[in-house]
Amino acid sequence: MHSETQSHQPGKEHIMQDRPQYEPFYEGVGKFSGQVVLISGGDSGIGRAVALSFAQEGADIGIIYKDEDTDAKETKELIESRGSRCLLMKGDLGDIDFCRQCVEETKNKLGNLNILINNAGEQHVEENFEDISQEQLLRTYKTNIFSFVYLIQAALPYLKDNKGSIINNASVTAYKGNPLLMDYSSTKGAIVALTRSLSKSC
């Protein structure tokens, strides 16, 4: 076991020496057959594992990713090998218009929207709080929390009609903090607060 780093954000899973485990460890029974799931950051890592688990249960999957084309295509092939449809959408989740477009495209091309999974995130290691730049702060917040709000706003009308669900992926750093990921940790705390508040309003 060794540590791997990549200079580009987000990282590319297909070039990692130690690939994450993403295959479901069970036989699906069609729990989500006929449903459509939209996942931000669904091309790799946690997002890929979630996408395959839902596909294993019969769901069709919409995946939003930034620029990791090889990872996204590999995930699409894995999903389709399970008999599910997969729609790939490439772009910047910090852009509200792109987020709205992804929701509409999922609904139009896959025929429905039952579950939204906000999973996309980025982090930048910074030892000194004073050195967190405005550019880094805005970039981290746009990806980690603004995109959640944008996608939820666009998806809510469809999810309310379908009695659907929203799943927001946070992190243990929301509760424990991390001295090297201070801006990232704060976005995860914001996700927890957003989720609790949204659950009371819907």
Entry pTM: 0.87
Give the residue-averaged pLDDT of 3-18: 54
Please give the helix or strand (H or E) that residue 168 lies within, else none.
strand 165-168
Task: Please give the span between the terminal C-alpha atoms of the chain, in angstroms, as a whole number.
Answer: 44
With 90 as the cut, is the pLDDT of residue 192 above it? yes
Give the residue-averaged pLDDT of 65-74: 95
Identify which has the larger pLDDT, 23 or 123: 123
**Tens of pLDDT, residues 90-122:** 999 999 999 999 999 999 999 999 999 999 999
Angle at 72 between CA 67 and CA 78, to 5 degrees: 175
Inter-helix orientation angle 182-201/134-141, to 10°: 30
The domain over range 29-201 is classified in CATH as 1.10.340.30? no
- Retrieve residue 57's tokens: 């249960």
**Tens of pLDDT, residues 18-51:** 556 667 667 778 899 999 999 999 999 999 999 9
Catalytic member of 22, 150, 158, 184: 184
Give the residue-averaged pLDDT of 141-168: 96
Among this protein's residues, is 184 annotated catalytic? yes
Give the residue-averaged pLDDT of 69-84: 96
Residue 43 φ then ψ, to 5°: -80, -25
Any idea where the domains of the chain sit in the sequence? Answer: 29-201
Between CA 53 and CA 22 the distance in angstroms is: 9
Q: What is the dihedral of CA 97, 198, 57, 154, to 10 degrees?
A: -20
CB atoms within 10 A of CB 84: 24
